[in-house]
Amino acid sequence: MESALPTLAAASRALAAGTVSSLELTRACLQRIARLNPEINAFITIDEEGALQAAREADARIARKEHTPLTGIPLAIKDIFCTQGLRTTCASAMLANFIPPYESTVTGRLRTAGAVLLGKTNMDEFAMGSSNETSHFGPVRNPWDLDRTPGGSSGGSAAAMAAGMCLGALGTDTGGSIRQPAALTGITGLKPTYGRVSRFGMIAFASSLDQAGPMTRTVEDAALLLQVMAGHDPLDATSIDAPVPDYAAALPCDLRDVRIGIPEEYFGNGLNHEIRAAIEAVQEVYRELGATLVPISLPMTGHAIPTYYIIAPAEASSNLARYDGIRFGHRADQPKDLRDLYCRTRAEGFGPEVKRRIMLGTYVLSSGYYDAYYRKAQQVRRLIAEDFSTAFAKHRLTAILTPTSPETAFLLGEKNQDPVSMYLSDIDTINVNLAGLPAISLPCGLDARGLPIGFQLIGRPLDEPAILATGHAFQQATRWHAHTPPGVTP
């Protein structure tokens, strides 16, 4: 059903015009959260007081005409971003009571722009999962079908967007954690180029892959959020020191110059036929808009999942060593000695998927296994990146078009006993993280059950403007982004 929840861009224009106040928008979001969250479980922490205070300040700022496009916009923040003075859990028992004394660069920039932070959204524990079922705070339910997962790990942000609890949300994407839930909940989700957005204050899962990005109703909204999030940060040595283009200005474009690659490896037998049909329809739309579609091959595609499940757990096993019960977070009661403190703190504080990945990562880095696993995976990772750069150069492509997920939203409990089948949920997104490229997922249909289908546009490094513009053209020509879950009304 098309019901057109408000977009961030429209709300921003209304705020500037004075036809609505931030307090009204914020209250509406808080009311919807109060009504729907008990069932959907999209939020771990709701900061009503902070949000209302920020809304009042935003209204005053708008009255003074000192606002930005984000001033007064209510946003949902994945609970992986440290927020000063506001509990940040990473959906783990380990950090259930952790209140950071510092602010992540991304949320700091949003606050400075005047955005209203409604609260912290649910996610897979330490962003490790594809269904939001590994959260210490319970699974998130998909507003399209409450028996189904919204995907993960940014499932709370995706569900909050789909249910209209906010006008924009922040996610993070290590192997597809923004794009897969965006596809499964019918919203738009952008993973920027690695290094485009600062990771400072974003709790690390796999440092060389993690990247924050916007989850929104439309591509235009994603452009507005990215504009504030992106840019070099002296506190993050891996952030890219390159000028930030005007993303919104780049949106209108003529697709007659655009060449879109269609990689055969993403359309194999495992692909659900409804998704295949939906993606073919997307290609048709682009053809009609004047774009050139180019069949291409990315031969390394099949190596992505094993490569990722060596590199990401290796980094995670080291990144999560700091949770030792000594300085912050969970600490075991009455430890006998140091070893007991470490063992019980970590046994009690981490859930099973986190432990599985710490063990995997510890194993692949161990002396005697490093060359066979970690070093080999780094070599394959380089080849995967070359695969993309070769295809982009050889075919002079603007973007590469693929499904975002091989399936639509699956049932809660369907895969969580089978880690490998769960890992395969990210088969269409993981390559992009390994190559560090930007990619966006957009809604493009509904399956027979009425569940959203998404497609992905992958761009060249730092060429967010191209995939945003290409995605925007699709949303100008179609209405899939305006569909909302049954029962969710403006």
Partner 1 sequence: MSTDFETVIGLEIHTQLLTRSKIFCGCPNRFGAAPNTQICPVCAAFPGVLPVLNRAVLDMAIRTGLAVNGQIRLRNEFARKNYFYPDLPAGYQISQFELPIVEHGELIIEPEGAPSRRIGITRIHMEVDAGKNLHEGIQGASWVDLNRTGTPLLEIVSEPDLRSAAEAGAYLKKLRSIVRYLEVCDGNMEEGSFRCDANVSVRPRGAERFGTRAEVKNLNSIRNVMRAIEYEAQRQIDLIESGGKVVQETRLWDANQNLTRSMRGKEEAHDYRYFPEPDLPPVVIAPERIAAIRATMPELPDAKARRFRDTLGLSEYDAGVLTASHELAGYFEATLAGAAPADAKSVANWVTGDLLGRINKEGLEITASPVPAQALGALIAMIQENVISGKIAKTVFALLWEQGGGDPRRIVAEKGLNQVTDQGAIEAEVDRILALHPEKIAQYQAGKSQLLGFFVGEIMKATRGKANPGVVNELLKNRLQTS
Which helix (H) or strand (E) is 51 found in, with range? helix 48-63
End-to-end CA distance of the chain: 12
Q: At closest approach, how far in Å is the CB of 82 from partner 1?
A: 5
Q: At closest approach, how far in Å is the CB of 238 from partner 1?
A: 6
The Cα 114–Cα 66 span in angstroms is: 10
Q: At closest approach, how far in Å is the CB of 413 from partner 1?
A: 30
For the question of residue 153 being annotated catalytic, the response is: yes
263-269 LR contacts (CB < 8 Å, sep 24+): 263/296, 263/297, 263/298, 263/301, 263/391, 263/400, 263/402, 264/295, 264/296, 264/297, 265/297, 265/298, 265/299, 265/301, 265/302, 266/298, 266/301, 266/402, 266/403, 266/428, 267/403
**Which of residues 101 and 243 has its CB atom nearest to partner 1 in the complex?**
101
Which helix (H) or strand (E) is 376 found in, with range? helix 376-394
The Cα 490–Cα 487 span in angstroms is: 10
Within 10 angstroms of residue 157's Cβ, the number of other Cβ atoms is 40
**Which of residues 366 and 489 has its CB atom nearest to partner 1 in the complex?**
366
Q: At closest approach, how far in Å is the CB of 80 from partner 1?
A: 8
**Which of residues 88 and 130 has its CB atom nearest to partner 1 in the complex?**
88
What are the residues binding partner 1 (CB under 8 A)?
Answer: 80-82, 88, 90, 95, 98, 100-102, 104, 199-204, 206-208, 234-238, 314-315, 317-318, 320-322, 324, 326-329, 338, 342, 362, 365-367, 370, 374
Bridge partner residues of 460 (DSSP):
none
**Which of residues 60 and 332 has its CB atom nearest to partner 1 in the complex?**
332
The Cα 8–Cα 273 span in angstroms is: 33
For the question of residue 12 being annotated catalytic, the response is: no
Catalytic-role residue among 153, 154, 157, 317: 153
Q: At closest approach, how far in Å is the CB of 365 from partner 1?
A: 4
Closest listed residue to residue 184, CA positions, set 133, 265, 130: 130
**Which of residues 104 and 193 has its CB atom nearest to partner 1 in the complex?**
104
Q: At closest approach, how far in Å is the CB of 315 from partner 1?
A: 6
Catalytic-role residue among 12, 21, 22, 78: 78
**Which of residues 277 and 326 has its CB atom nearest to partner 1 in the complex?**
326
Catalytic-role residue among 104, 177, 198, 425: 177
CB-facing half-sphere around the CA of 168: CA atoms within 13 A: 32
Angle, helices 352-365 vs 304-319, to 10°: value is 100
Within 10 angstroms of residue 292's Cβ, the number of other Cβ atoms is 17
Active site (catalytic) residues: 78, 153, 177
